[in-house]
Amino acid sequence: MTDLTDAARAILRGNDRQGPGGRYTVPNGRVYPFQWNWDSAFVALGFDTFDRVRAWQEVETLFSAQWQDGFVPHIVFWADDAGYFPGPSVWDTGREPRTSGITQPPVAATVVRRLWDTALAAGEGDAFWSRVERLYDQLLAYHRWFAEVRDPEGRGVVVAMHPWETGRDNSPEWDAPGEPIDVSKVGDYVRRDTGHLDAKMRPTKLEYDRYLALVQYGRAQGWDHHAIAAGNPFRVADVGMSMILLRANRDLRDLGAMLGRDTGAIAAWIARAEAGIGWLWDEAHGCWCSRDLLTGRRSGFVTSASFLSFYAGLRDPAKDAATLAHLARIGARVPYLMPSLDPADPGFQMIRYWRGPVWAVVNWMIGTGLAETGHAEPAARVKRDTLDLIARNGFYEAFSPVDGTGSGGDDFSWTAAIWLAWVAGDRSAV
Ligand code: GLC
């Protein structure tokens, strides 16, 4: 275990970069050479186990790229790299630093709350007090942006405007909602991802055409997020982002209370989510899933995001039992939880990105939520499977739930970070 912990630290150190906004970590030097939003949040959890200051810097650098309206981009292009597509000139957001125009799952508040807790436990609260105050204000602005811009119908959910926003790029949840996207004017382009990685592991050409058509749409709106929310051809209430934001709001409220702030607005967002998130429950399939805002259609897919209700702090005996039954069924079918798509689904592909592979970061959220809500056995299984996958195969981007084969890039920052958070951060549990 110690060797692997050393290796995980070495990966984070190796992917550490200095940019004009401060230090940040690239998810993987070759495939993803910039700063990614939710990757950085998870990376901070890893750094927090051995370099507390560096952990805070990671989140601070990300938030130094926050837009004035509170929006935090999914990519910050701190340095040039011709090996990546679509780069800053394709996004053309006209911001400095250069960024993309979409966001990603808002795990940051949950992470900052953890960083604060470990600082306090180490008796270093004073040293981090002004930093937590500043991040709190930035996080509050980010969450306000979600409440005001990304929940246009006030349903208590998060509406994604691009599959990349969900962090689960090619999940089958986006297939039907993606159909109306007009790809006829996308034009020619050269993908870079398939130059670094086997195309079998990556999204298809049709999916990529849709991704680019949506980037072009956002650009045509001058990245005015209100205009995008009103007319985007893709508007899907994502179960993953909705659960993650609900959880993040609970953590932000706790931080605000600790800082002596008025947390009334956050409490209202939580109440709205608790009242409305049932809209994402699919009674026919007994699962949580995403729902197309434009057609009202539920995806009906059991994905790894279906298991984030525990992490969100939701308690509903009937829905919990149905969700746990899916977990048990899937756990009996594959050696490694939690596949990103139900292996019983005909579209399941064990190494194609978000259509089958296991992702350590999602497992961390699922496992954390299960443990917190008293489901110790499935929580332990999810954690054990994650650590086994890494120990046997390496720090890959994702893994086949069937045989553990690594999928995507290796030496991946967030996989190393989850190892550290689960092993180095909590040695007693290994
Ligand atoms: C892929 C993943 C996304 C991640 C990014 C960088 O696009 O789908 O979740 O943030 O890579 O690792």
pLDDT band at residue 315, thresholds of 50, 70 and 90? Answer: very high
pLDDT of residue 196: 85
Q: Work out which ligand 1 atom sits closest to the CA atom of 413.
A: 12
Residue having the nearest C-alpha atom to atom 4 of ligand 1: 167
pLDDT band at residue 330, thresholds of 50, 70 and 90? Answer: very high
Q: Does residue 249 carry a pLDDT above 50? A: yes
In tens, the pLDDT along 110-133 reads 999 999 999 999 999 999 999 999
Q: Determine the distance separating the centroid of ligand 1 and the alpha carbon of 267, expressed in angstroms.
A: 30
Q: Work out which ligand 1 atom sits closest to the CA atom of 414.
A: 12
Task: Share the mean pLDDT of the chain.
Answer: 96
10 Å Cβ neighbour count for 298?
Answer: 23
pLDDT of residue 1: 57
- From CA 149, how far away is CA 241, in angstroms rounded? 14
Q: Is 165 a catalytic residue?
A: no
Which of left, alpha, beta for 394 (phi over 0: left; psi -120 to 50: alpha)?
A: left
Give backbone dihedrals phi and psi of 292, rounded to 5 degrees, phi first.
-70, 120
**Alpha-carbon dihedral sign for residues 427, 428, 429, 430:** positive
pLDDT of residue 210: 97
Which residues, including other chains, have CB under 8 Å from residue 304's CB and lie 6 or more apart? 168, 338, 339, 340, 341, 358, 359, 362, 363, 366
- From CA 257, how far away is CA 411, in angstroms rounded? 38
Q: How much of the chain exceeds pLDDT 90, in percent?
A: 94
- From CA 342, how far away is CA 275, in angstroms rounded? 28
Catalytic residue among 58, 207, 292, 397: 397
Q: Of the residues 38, 39, 75, 411, which should be mutated to test ligand 1's pocket, given the most ligand atoms within 8 Å of the CB?
A: 39
pLDDT of residue 201: 87
In tens, the pLDDT along 143-156 reads 999 999 999 999 99
Q: Work out which ligand 1 atom sits closest to the CA atom of 170.
A: 8
Which residues, including other chains, have CB under 8 Å from residue 157's CB and lie 6 or more apart? 151, 237, 238, 242, 273, 276, 277, 279, 280, 291
Catalytic residue among 51, 69, 117, 169: 169
Q: Determine the distance separating the centroid of ligand 1 and the alpha carbon of 357, expressed in angstroms.
A: 13
Closest C-alpha among 106, 135, 107, 111 to residue 48? 111
Q: Of the residues 25, 32, 103, 412, which should be mutated to test ligand 1's pocket, given the most ligand atoms within 8 Å of the CB?
A: 32
Q: Work out which ligand 1 atom sits closest to the CA atom of 168.
A: 8
Place of tokens 């720090």: 395
Residue having the nearest C-alpha atom to atom 12 of ligand 1: 27
Q: Determine the distance separating the centroid of ligand 1 and the alpha carbon of 129, expressed in angstroms.
A: 31
pLDDT of residue 430: 32
In tens, the pLDDT along 199-230 reads 988 999 999 999 999 999 999 999 999 999 99
DSSP single-letter state for residue 422: I
Q: Determine the distance separating the centroid of ligand 1 and the alpha carbon of 167, expressed in angstroms.
A: 6
- DSSP string computed for 192-235: SHHHHS-GGGS--HHHHHHHHHHHHHHHHTTT-HHHHHHH-S--
In tens, the pLDDT along 70-113 reads 999 999 999 999 989 999 999 999 999 999 999 999 999 999 99
Total-model pTM: 0.98
Helices 125-149, 239-258: inter-axial angle, 10-degree rounding: 140
Q: Work out which ligand 1 atom sits closest to the CA atom of 354.
A: 8
CA distances from 328 to 140, 305, 343, 376 (A): 37, 16, 12, 13
Q: Where does residue 267 rank: exposed (0-12), middle (13-18), buried (19+ CB within 10 A)? A: middle
Place of tokens 């553990």: 404
Q: Determine the distance separating the centroid of ligand 1 and the alpha carbon of 335, expressed in angstroms.
A: 24
Q: Is 274 a catalytic residue?
A: no
List the beta bridge partners of residue 23: 18
- From CA 430, how far away is CA 424, in angstroms rounded? 9
Residue 96's H or E segment, with its range, is none
> Ligand 1 pocket: which residues have CB below 6 Å?
27, 32, 36, 38-39, 167, 169
pLDDT band at residue 426, thresholds of 50, 70 and 90? Answer: low
10 Å Cβ neighbour count for 283?
Answer: 11
Q: Determine the distance separating the centroid of ligand 1 and the alpha carbon of 370, expressed in angstroms.
A: 24
pLDDT of residue 83: 87
CA distances from 7 to 11, 266, 420 (A): 6, 39, 10
* Cβ contact 24:78 at 8 Å: yes
* Cβ contact 171:341 at 8 Å: yes
In tens, the pLDDT along 21-47 reads 999 999 998 899 999 999 999 999 999
pLDDT of residue 2: 78
Domains and CATH numbers, the chain: 22-320 (1.50.10.10)
Amino acid in position 304: S
